[in-house]
Amino acid sequence: MGKKRIVKKTEEELLKEREKIETGMRKEINIKSSLKTKDGRIYISSSYNNTLITLTDLHGNVLTWTSAGAIGFKGTKKATPFAASKVAEGICLTAKKLGIQRISVLVKGVGSGRESAIRSLATHGLDIISITDVTPIPHNGCRPPKVRRV
């Protein structure tokens, strides 16, 4: 197999990566409308495979979004609570840049990143007004299959 080689990144490469991530966030944000209000909504969609977090204003206009895959996690690591907390950390930074301080959180899905994302939002200085679970629940489910005839 041979020896394993650990690649260490220089400070310049790390700065380029950070700039790449920051420029990847939406540039077309209407900053004037977001500066008027200091309130917003954060939608957390947590599945078995990924965690997506969307920041909107009170009217529902998307200001920015990010996911575990967009940050750089691959494969099964996208569905971990650690990845969800890193996604929430990234959203917190952009929310502070936009001047949003108070948020209401709407959580959807059954993934493992639900609680860790909310905890991360709270620890990074955003005031959480409310937490709502909007996971869809079927009333009667799917139609059962026909009876098997032998």
Say if CB 88 and CB 68 are below 8 A apart: no
What is the pLDDT at residue 26? Answer: 47
Q: Supply the pLDDT for residue 89.
A: 92
Q: State residue 19's pLDDT score.
A: 76
| Residue 42 near residue 114 (C-beta atoms within 8 A) | no
Residue ranges and CATH numbers for the domains of the chain are 30-133 (3.30.420.80)
**CA dihedral sign of residues 107, 111, 115, 121:** negative
What integer pLDDT is reported at residue 23 of this predicted model? 66
Structure confidence at residue 29 (pLDDT): 46
Is the Cα dihedral 32, 37, 39, 40 positive or negative?
A: negative
Query: Could you report the average pLDDT of every consecutive run of 10 residues in the chain (150 residues)?
Result: 70 76 55 63 94 93 93 90 92 91 93 91 92 91 90
Token pair of 44 as six digits: 């957390």
